[in-house]
Amino acid sequence: MTPERYQRLQLLADIASELEPDRRRAYLDEQCAGDEALRRDVERLLAADDRAGSFLEKPAMEKFAGILASDQPQGGMQSMILPKVLQDRYSIEQELGRGGIGAVYLARDRNLHSRRVVIKVLQTATDYLKRKFHGEIEALTRFEHRHIVKSSIKARSPTASHSS
């Protein structure tokens, strides 16, 4: 199907749908003379027109709101949250929490036998917050304690900073 063919089909269907059955037949006989496939496709559109009813009239949101609200960032969404450098190595399992500055996710490290890690994503990029975040990472590297998370990697994306 070419765009030109599509336009022709739709135009014929527009006009034919306004005509009484007898005149409609005569009109299509004339317009589609010698092109059975065209006639068939127009008839198909006209039949679909008659049955369209409430098809697609209710916005997707009304039906799928629950999905939107409960959807966990994983799978395809991972690419939107993590920068490329982290995508190959970590798979996000769930969001643990979020505050004013960023969000924290539980993830698995594919390079280390699916060891569990947390990934903190900074969601704003003011210089002050970036400095603070880097200071936090810096501080973490100085500690070695079983109740303090160890910082293992940091990365940047166009919109967010990450540490895990």
Partner 1 sequence: MEPSPQEITQLLRDWRNGDASALDRLIPLVYDELRQAAKRLMALQSPGHTLQTTAVINEVYLRLVDSPDIEWQDRAHFVRFCAAVMRNILVDHFRRRRRQAPLDEAEASPQEQDISLLRLDDALNDLAKLDPRASQVVNLKFFGGLTMEEIAGALNVSLPTVNRDWRRAKRWLKAELEGGSQQ
Stretch 49-88: interaction string toward partner 1, x if CB under 8 A = x-xxxxxx-xxxxxxxxxxxxxx-xxxxx--xx-------
When asked if residue 37 is in the footprint of partner 1 (CB under 8 A), the reply is yes
3-state secondary structure of 108: strand
3-state secondary structure of 34: coil
Q: Across the chain, how many H-helices and E-strands are there? A: 7, 5
3-state secondary structure of 127: helix
Q: Which is nearer to partner 1, 81 or 119 (CB)?
A: 81
Length of the chain: 164
When asked if residue 158 is in the footprint of partner 1 (CB under 8 A), the reply is yes
When asked if residue 21 is in the footprint of partner 1 (CB under 8 A), the reply is no
C-alpha span between 51 and 53 (Å, rounded): 6
- Say how many C-beta atoms besides its own lie within 10 A of residue 54's C-beta: 6
Closest distance to partner 1 from the beta carbon of 35 (Å):
12
When asked if residue 25 is in the footprint of partner 1 (CB under 8 A), the reply is no
Closest distance to partner 1 from the beta carbon of 74 (Å):
8
3-state secondary structure of 73: coil
Question: Which two tokens mark 79?
Answer: 């690419």
- Pick the stretch among 23-31, 117-125, 131-139, 141-149 that binds partner 1 (CB under 8 A): 117-125
| Site size with partner 1, rule: CB under 8 A | 53
Question: Which two tokens mark 164?
Answer: 């895990």
Contact residues: partner 1, CB under 8 A? 1-3, 6-7, 10, 13-14, 37, 41, 44-49, 51-56, 58-71, 73-77, 80-81, 100-101, 103, 123-125, 129, 158-160
